[in-house]
Every structure is written in structure tokens, then in C-alpha cells.
Chain A
């Protein structure tokens, strides 16, 4: 299952809740304000790095770049463009959009 998260981890607990519900074969795609969850040196970095050991995590680059965060993304998080977003949605049998 592909999980998308579109809220900042310092605004809502969406990312935290999503990461707690990940199962084998799951992946996370951070979009919109969700990309703040992809950053180094923040209060939620450790949690995300821990999840990265078991699950692929992606972030939508246009959203990262819009917010000026292009040099702050955690190593290991894969950056995708809009066509990569579509590929991920096609690759996983289901998508859960965490709001």
C-alpha cells in the first residue's frame, strides 16, 4: 500500500500516525506540506529515519523546491516528480491518502 501524507508534522500528527500504521510492502509519499516531514534536523527527523530502515519513503520534489527545502532532505528519501508520483500510484495496488 502507498501512503500519501500532505500535512506538516509540526502542524498535525498525520505523519506520525501514518508511520505507526505501516505494514510490510508499504511505502510513504510526502506531498504538499507533508514534505516538511522529509527534512533533516527537525523534531520528526528521527522518526522518519527509523521508518526509512524498513520502508521506502518518497517526497514530491516540486513541493520540496517550492518551500526552499531542496538542500535539507534526509539521505535515503527518494525525490520524485509528478510522473514519478503517477508511477508510484500505478505500482501499488492501493493508496491511502492521510489528510
Chain B
């Protein structure tokens, strides 16, 4: 059973406490590298069986827009990857209502199911985490 772990013996349960990780996404995709880098780190974290949540606020809500076509700007369209997160047991995706509305967006504009939170609820979510990583 060591093949998948590169020869390192790993127990299913290493006894470590499962921590709550929140990834805060506040940048639009493509204009900067933040959105893609965040997604890469989220995927890495999926390997560590932690309690992962993703928050999208401010321009971060643009990351999960439907209908992205990036062929003409010659960069990878990574938006379909958000739909794959479910397969890694990352299912807690939150969008801040005020950020969404300021941009004329609705829940059905997003490529993945999300839970819409008020700013106050988002603040509570942030407060309840063990680790917050901001992009």
C-alpha cells in the first residue's frame, strides 16, 4: 500500500487534529495569478483530509462565473476545476451576497452550487476557522 505515497508508510489516521481551513478569494481571474494559485493550493490541501471551505468575496465572485472562454487570450480556463472540487470532498463554497449584488450577479450565474452569506455571516465564518488563507 505504499505505492501511492511514494514508499512512505502512512496510516489512515495519523492522529492529527482535523483543522478548519478557509480559503478567501478576493481577486478576479486571469488579470492576476491569485485565483489560479488559490485553486492550486486548495487542490493540494484536499490531499490532507482537512475541513476545507472556500469563500468568494469582492472581485473573487468573478472566479466562478459561468461561460468563461479563454481561448482567445491564450490562457487556461480553470473555471471547470471548481466543479471538480466536489470529487475531493470540498463542498463548502460560500459567496458574499453584497459582493455578488454589487456586480449585478445572481446565484444562478455561478458554475458551482454555493451558499450565499451576508457580510455578517461571512465574518462569522472567518471567525470560526483554525486557519485562514487569503488570496
Contact = CB atoms under 8 A, between A and B. Distances in A.
Interface of A: 6-8, 10-11, 32-33, 36, 39-43, 45, 61-63, 65-72, 81
What are the 8 tightest A-B residue pairs by CB atom distance, in nearest-first order? Answer: A41-B104, A33-B31, A62-B72, A68-B67, A68-B65, A68-B68, A66-B70, A65-B69
B103 interface: yes
Interface of B: 27-32, 58-59, 62, 65-70, 72-73, 75, 77, 79, 102-104
B65 A11 contact: no
A25 B117 CA distance: 45
Query: Chain A binding site: helix, strand, loop or mixed by DSSP?
Result: loop
B28 A11 contact: yes
Contacts of B59: 8, 10-11, 33, 36
B104 A67 contact: no
Contacts of B31: 6-8, 32-33
Contacts of B102: 10, 42-43
B79 A39 contact: no
Nearest to A40: B104
A68 B69 contact: yes
A33 B67 CA distance: 16
A65 B68 CA distance: 6
A91 B20 CA distance: 55
Contact of B30 (A67, A70, A72): A67
Q: Which of B27, B28, B77 has the most CB of A within 10 A?
A: B28
Nearest to A45: B104
Contacts of A62: 72-73
A61 B68 CA distance: 12
Contacts of B75: 66
A67 B27 contact: no
A33 to B, nearest CB: 3
B88 to A, nearest CB: 23
Contact of B28 (A36, A41, A72): A36
Contacts of A7: 31
Nearest to B70: A66
